[in-house]
Structures are given as structure tokens and as C-alpha cells.
Amino acid sequence: MSYLIDGLQYSNWSEEVFRQIRAGGVDAVHVTLVYHENFRETVANIERWNRWFESWPELIFQGFGAEDIAKAHATGRTAIFFGAQNPSCIEDDIGLVEVLHRLGLRFMQLTYNNQSLLATGCYEAHDTGLTRMGREVVAEMNRVGMVVDMSHSGERSTLAAVEHSSRPIAITHANPAAWHPARRNKSDVVIGALAQTGGMLGFSLYPHHLKGGSDCTVEDFCTMIARTAERFGTHFLGIGTDLCLNQPDSVVEWMRTGRWTKTVDYGEGSKDAPGFPAMPGWFHDNRDFGNIARGLRAAGFTAPEVDGIMGGNWARFCAASFGAADRQDKAKRAAE
């Protein structure tokens, strides 16, 4: 049994994209439900997904537990797991963690580039780690079974989350900064902390996270993964493509600026290149995962290692992460 799982996508969803996901044989996807939405707006986004689940039950269904990955595989469909890139969805209310978990939220970033009520984002000048509320919310996420995702967080906050969380955390979409020093890529200290605590790192295909950008070759990408594995092991590695298909400029602007500024923020882009860069030629959409799997084999990984990176490691992590703490706690301790 080998699974194909993507640790992050946020496309402009449509029947066409869902059919691409099925054509690619993807068993499960963590999809972004929230950039800057408050609670009520988040619920409206869930309502949109409910319409899609009702419209295309032969292609997709909502995932709540890791068993839904196996169910998806067995029935030739894709399990969709909700995640938030920003804790805006819980507003100032810790009780919303359990409510949103009940509605299926399985990942939540503590920050999205900026300071939040919980922690510091990777674009801030000063990173003060977890706030008072941040520590409380991490404990509540641990209790109900919601993964702490630090993809867009600052280094100190990320290490504080690893330390404070009683369960392993994830960086669903980023690459090693040692390979390509983008502000969103992660230090070896952070990657080592993930490896040692049963966490997960999903390698990103967003061109700003790639050495050479859109021109990065699959050989370069897979060699980077091999170097990471040599140093830290393969057990905690997965893919988080950060795939964004067909989004209009208005949504890209919402992702970058939400309601927090009246000026233009280019995020990882720039004034000269404000749009989304072209994806590398070997990964256009969900039908291209085979290119990565073949590249990993060519880079020297064994077949079981490739299966782990392409989905097996995410499946194991989800099984340890999505249940309530009284049933599935101490996964982190077991991994230490």
C-alpha cells in the first residue's frame, strides 16, 4: 500500500481541478480554507466546499480522520483535509479551536507572515516567540487533534512551538534555506528539530522557494531532498506543493494583503514581478507527481523511501495527529 498525499494546495477549485487530482491518483490533499478570514467567513468557505462535496461525490469527499486516506484510496477518490494558513479563523476565541476541529479543520498555522495573536510571522523584524494566548491555543490544538503548522512563522516562534507542543508539529510547505535562502525557507536548526520530534517537512514547489525559481530542474529539486535526507533522515519528509492553479489576481491580493494594509505588499514577489511565477516545467498540476517520484528514485532513494516521501510519511503523521489527545497522544514522545 503506497499513498500519494499533498501537504498543501490552494487552487481555484473546480470540476476540472478535481478531475486532475483524480487523474494524478492523489489520495489526500491538505487544502487551504483560510488566509485572513474571520470565523464567519471561514464558515462561508466551508459551505462552498460542502457544495463541491455534494456536487462531485465520485471525485472528492471531506476527510476527518487518517482512515479517510485509506477510504479514498480504496474507493478511487480524494480525501480533502481543511487547513488554515492564519489563525484569523479563531479570532480571539480559544473555544473556536474545538468548533473548527469538529468542522474538519486539521491544520492551522499560528501565523501568516505577520505577527498574530499567537506568534510571530517570518516577515516581522522581531520574533518574540509564542504569546500567552499562543501557548494556550497550542495546548488546545494538541488536545483536540489539530496540527500546528509553522510554514509562515519566524524561527524563534517555530522552535518555541516545537518545544511547547505536546505533539509533533508540521511545516507543510517550505524548503531548506541552506539550499535556497528565501525568507520562507527553513534553517537546519528548525529542520533538525522537526526530524527529532516526529514532525513533518513538506517540500514546496512554489518557484520562489526553489533555487533557480521556475527554471529549477527536477534533478536539482530531488538532489536537495536527498541532501536533506542524508543529514536528517527520510522518516519526516513529504511533499507540500503549494500548488495554486487558476487563481485570479483578486485572490492573490487577498492572500498577500488581507485587510492588514492599504498599500501593495508583493509577498515573495516584487514590484517588477508582482504575479505568480510560472511553475517548473516538470510540475504543472496534480497529474505530474510521477515526475517527482521518478526524480527521487534517480536521486538514489529506495522504492520504500520514495513511497514514504510521496505520501506514506504524511499518512503516518496524520494518523498520529488528527485524533483527540486522550486517544493518540505522546506520538512525539514515542518518536524521541
**Shortest Å distance, C-beta 328 to a second copy:** 17
**Shortest Å distance, C-beta 38 to a second copy:** 10
Tell me whether residue 135 or residue 143 sits nearer to a second copy (CB atom): 143
**Shortest Å distance, C-beta 104 to a second copy:** 8
Tell me whether residue 141 or residue 170 sits nearer to a second copy (CB atom): 141
Count of other CB atoms within 10 angstroms of residue 125? 7
**Shortest Å distance, C-beta 93 to a second copy:** 7
The DSSP letter of residue 181 is -
**Shortest Å distance, C-beta 61 to a second copy:** 12
Tell me whether residue 45 or residue 223 sits nearer to a second copy (CB atom): 45
Element (H, E) at 107: strand 105-109
Tell me whether residue 44 or residue 189 sits nearer to a second copy (CB atom): 44
**Shortest Å distance, C-beta 151 to a second copy:** 27
Residue with cell 507540500: 240
Provide the total of helices (H) and of strands (E) in the chain, helices listed first: 14, 9
Dihedral angle sign, alpha carbons of residues 52, 66, 236, 99: positive
Q: Are 80 and 72 in contact (CB under 8 A)?
A: no
Instruction: Give per-residue burial for 44-63: e unless 16+ CB within 10 Å, then b.
Output: ebbeebeebeeebeebbbbb
**Shortest Å distance, C-beta 265 to a second copy:** 29
The DSSP letter of residue 7 is E
Q: In the stretch 82-121, what mask flags binding to a second copy with x, by CB under 8 A?
A: -----------x-xx-xx--xxx-----------------
Angle in degrees, 0-180, between the axes of helices 218-232 and 188-196, rounded to the nearest 10: 60
229 part of the interface to a second copy, by CB under 8 A: no
Which one-letter amino acid corresponds to residue 217? Answer: T
Tell me whether residue 58 or residue 219 sits nearer to a second copy (CB atom): 58
Nearest to 29, CA basis, from 287, 241, 290, 312: 241
Which one-letter amino acid corresponds to residue 95? Answer: G
Give dist(CA 159, CA 145) in Å, integer.
20
Q: In the stretch 15-54, what mask flags binding to a second copy with x, by CB under 8 A?
A: ------------------------xx--xx-xx--xx---
Tell me whether residue 252 or residue 325 sits nearer to a second copy (CB atom): 325
User: In the complex, which residues of this chain contact a second copy (CB under 8 A)?
Assistant: 39-40, 43-44, 46-47, 50-51, 93, 95-96, 98-99, 102-104
